[in-house]
Amino acid sequence: MKRYPHYLDLQPAMHAKGLVRLPGSKSISNRTLLLAALCDGTTHIKDLLASDDTHVMLMALQKLGVKWEQIGESQDYVVHGVNGSFPVHQADLFMGNAGTAIRPLTAALAVTGGDYTLHGVSRMHERPIADLVEALNAVGTHIEYTGVAGYPPLHIQRGRLHAQRMQVRGNVSSQFLTALLMAAPLMAREEDVRIDVIGELISKPYIEITLNLIRRFGITVQRDGWQSFTIPAGQRYISPGTIHVEGDASSASYFLAAGAIAGGPVRVEGVGKDSIQGDVRFVEALEQMGATIRMGENWIEAESNGVLRAIDADFNHIPDAAMTIAVAALYADGTSTLRNIGSWRVKETDRISAMAIELRKLGAIVEEGADYLRVTPPSEIQAAAIDTYDDHRMAMCFSLATLDGAARRGNKVRINDPQCVAKTFPDYFEAFAKVTEDTLF
């Protein structure tokens, strides 16, 4: 895996053009690993993401007694399912800062029972998990906080399930509902399990990914809109045999934005019009800003049409990819407003605050609200050293500030702690340099 120095200096880039093969989706990779572990049968996973977050899940599953093999030097893996019961009933699990690993694994372990501790890096211990824990404990699981109440670390012990109807808040993180949906078939041996969502559900496209993958592993879910989900009794996870991991649609956003800002065309391969990931809808925002978008079954392409138009839009459905719009707004013809992005505050860092601080370094005027960000571009983008807050998406999206757009020129940008991209895209800066013909150091 690529190792970077403590900082990386990116030079101004006049044009973006080319082809990028995307790494696998983090959301699909970690969901697929857990489902493959829980199912009956052996699953061949093709093009699994190579990253810190998937490594965390693989190591946790190994500690729990799940057997898996990597096929040579490829990103293909074979996972031997345990048919709903982990062989190891006592383990200490390090979860890094991987929300896509700790949330569903917490639910699965609490439902199957055992004696487990789950902990991570310091930022993980600041990311809320109370809604998930309360939903599980209300039906008889036994999860305790060993640090600050409402946050990891967690201690899970064997409980006694006594109810088949759960409730979970939907307005903090969709990963809580994802975790319950993935664990519910393990509870629905003799009775149906129903999950009710309290309030508005955010990040709905991520739930669509979960439901799609659960179906591929043999589980039928009945739903009443976004308010309740019922898993009929008597089902179990069954391997689909082979499953392919799509390219990461969130990672596609940086390259597509580069094409929209700096000429293009830039094409990404690995996602397309048939993707199960909601973040492909990022291209709708680029189209609103004036870019030309073309799509095939397994590719998307973006090209500039001149100065980007300012945008005012609700980004609740694509919170990760929306960060890219905040930087693209530097090249717009006026003030852009990103609305309904409150979930940014409980991600790898407080992304609303972090984005505001770093955009101001580049000369932008930024207004920060509880769940919105308003960006007025500068007359000239300033050279700056960007702090990344151990957040992979901060590092990646600010690389765009080096580009020459129709409205204004990019500038030299120093990315501090570039290694954080290893969370989802270890070779990001090499891929970015390829489409911008940039010199990294």
Burial tier of 370 (Cβ tally within 10 Å: 0-12, 13-18, 19+): exposed
DSSP 3-state percent helix, strand, coil across the chain (nearest 5): 35, 25, 40
Please tell me whether the overall predicted TM-score, pTM, comes out greater than 0.85 for this model: yes
Q: In this structure, what token pair is assigned to residue 165?
A: 């109807």
Q: Determine the pLDDT at residue 437.
A: 81
Using DSSP's 3-state secondary structure scheme, residue 385 falls into strand
H or E stretch covering 265 = strand 263-269
Q: Determine the pLDDT at residue 163.
A: 84
The residues, ordered by sequence, that sit 6+ positions from 305 with a Cβ below 8 Å of its Cβ are 290, 291, 292
Q: What does the angle CA 397 – CA 3 – CA 410 come to, to the nearest 5 degrees?
A: 30
- Report the chain's mean pLDDT, rounded to a whole number: 96
In the predicted structure, residue 376 carries a pLDDT above the cut 80: yes
Using DSSP's 3-state secondary structure scheme, residue 112 falls into helix
Q: What is the C-alpha separation between 378 and 397, in angstroms, rounded? A: 17
> Which tens digit of pLDDT belongs to each residue from 202-228?
999 999 999 999 999 999 999 999 999
Mean pLDDT of 330-352: 96
> Which tens digit of pLDDT belongs to each residue from 165-204?
999 999 999 999 999 999 999 999 889 999 999 999 999 9
In the predicted structure, residue 232 carries a pLDDT above the cut 50: yes
Q: Determine the pLDDT at residue 439.
A: 46
CA 412 to chain centre: 28
Buried b (16+ CB within 10 A) or exposed e, 63-87: bbebebeeeeeebbbebebbebebe
Mean pLDDT of 333-346: 96
The residues, ordered by sequence, that sit 6+ positions from 400 with a Cβ below 8 Å of its Cβ are 254, 257, 258, 261, 324, 327, 328, 330, 410
Contact 315, 374 (CB under 8 A): no
Contact 263, 302 (CB under 8 A): no
H or E stretch covering 295 = strand 292-295
The residues, ordered by sequence, that sit 6+ positions from 278 with a Cβ below 8 Å of its Cβ are 203, 204, 205, 206, 208, 209, 249, 317, 318
Q: Determine the pLDDT at residue 438.
A: 55
At 47, the pLDDT band (50, 70, 90 cuts) reads very high
Using DSSP's 3-state secondary structure scheme, residue 408 falls into coil
Binding residues for phosphoenolpyruvate: 26, 99, 127, 175, 351, 393, 423
Give the sign of the dihedral formed by CA 132, CA 137, CA 140, CA 146: positive
Binding residues for 3-phosphoshikimate: 26-27, 31, 173-175, 203, 320, 347
Binding residues: 26-27, 31, 99, 127, 173-175, 203, 320, 347, 351, 393, 423
Mean pLDDT of 336-349: 95
Q: Determine the pLDDT at residue 291.
A: 98
At 5, the pLDDT band (50, 70, 90 cuts) reads confident
CB atoms within 10 A of CB 160: 9
Using DSSP's 3-state secondary structure scheme, residue 384 falls into strand
Tell me which residues are annotated as active site.
320
**Cross-strand bridge partners of residue 375:** 336, 366
Q: Determine the pLDDT at residue 216.
A: 98
What does the H/E/C string look like for 204-253?
A: HHHHHHHHHHHHHCCCCCEEECCCEEEECCCCCCECCCEEECCECHHHHH
Q: Determine the pLDDT at residue 441.
A: 42
Q: What is the C-alpha separation between 90 and 127, in angstroms, rounded? A: 24
Q: Determine the pLDDT at residue 2.
A: 65
In the predicted structure, residue 261 carries a pLDDT above the cut 80: yes
Using DSSP's 3-state secondary structure scheme, residue 287 falls into helix
